[in-house]
Amino acid sequence: MTATSSDFFNNKRFCVTGGAGFLGQVVVRKLKERGAGEIFIPTIEKYDLTEIHSIKQMVDDAKPDVIIHLAAQVGGIGANREHPGEFFYNNLMMGVQLMHEAWKRSVEKFIAIGTICAYPKFTPVPFREEDLWNGYPEETNAPYGLAKKMLLVQAQSYRQQYGYNAVFLLPVNLYGPGDNFNPASSHVIPALIRKCVQAVDEGRQEIEVWGDGSPTREFLYVEDAAEGILLATEKYNDSEPVNLGSGFEISIKDLVELIAGHTGYQGTFKWDTSKPNGQPRRCLDTSRAKKFFGFEAQMTFDEGLKRTIDWYQENKGRIK
């Protein structure tokens, strides 16, 4: 998908929280490709976005017309289980206070990034935005999912009471070059890639994998995710939440075998069924994104996976 510049991007100041991160770097690059000249990227070293005084300082320094709020404390099932309080508090404080401050200072538009973890544990597949409130999220990542979901409540209530233009997007699990490969906090794709590559490098013939392999997941390539976010930034101005996904569903068992094939791992897998599976199925209905702002994912999963593995192979020496 080729980016084109427009007056929307040329004439506005953007603040991208999390702009130095995995998704943020791609969003910032695509903003520049669209002609955005003024992009403010707050760093965690200078601004603690869980603290209101730090949020106020950041907005003072950025003077934004548009805030794209990507910053979040995220991780896989293990990280969510170990830090549920942090995941709830930090994500809630970052988002709710920042949106409130943006409204108070008349920032023109606020793009809030939610999470697939906001959906109920047993959501009919494909997940439709209308089903968001039909049950409690999967337990292992409910604190994170609910903290993010509050931004939808805030966006809708601020639009209703104040006419504030805040929108809420729900991306599925992201992957791609530059992903987080730290075993303590990574999601399933980078975690499996790292395990397979290390096993090949070390000549090991067995890898341990959490769960039983039965859950399904949908994944969105980081370039596609950034494209969807910027299409919504430019074209979407409504209160309804919008899914961002690829429409492709794969079981963890099939994912493991696919990654093994692409990395050259020929050993066996030991499924640790004492560990949680997480949500049984995840696959999104993406028709609303196509209807409202013309977004459709472009990257095939197989090609995206190859590019991610290639990136890790090239950079693994620098990754802790």
- Could you tell me how many helices (H) and strands (E) the chain has, helices first? 11, 11
Residue ranges of alpha helices (H) inside the chain are 7-10, 22-33, 52-62, 77-82, 84-104, 142-162, 188-202, 222-235, 252-263, 287-293, 301-315
Query: Residue 235: pLDDT above 90?
Result: yes
Catalytic residue numbers read 144
CA distance 149 to 115: 8
Q: Tell me how crowded residue 206 is: count the other CB atoms within 10 A of its CB.
A: 9
Q: Residue 5: pLDDT band by 50, 70, 90 thresholds?
A: low
CA distance 123 to 136: 10
Contact 209, 192 (CB under 8 A): yes
Q: Tell me how crowded residue 198 is: count the other CB atoms within 10 A of its CB.
A: 15
Query: Residue 1: pLDDT above 70?
Result: no
CA distance 72 to 237: 23
Q: Tens digit of pLDDT for each residue in 239-274?
A: 999 999 999 999 999 999 999 999 999 999 999 999
Q: Tens digit of pLDDT for each residue in 147-185?
A: 999 999 999 999 999 999 999 999 999 999 999 998 877
CA distance 265 to 263: 6
Structural domains for the chain: 9-176+219-248+281-299 (3.40.50.720)
Which residues are registered as beta bridge partners of 137? 120
Q: What is the pTM of this model?
A: 0.94
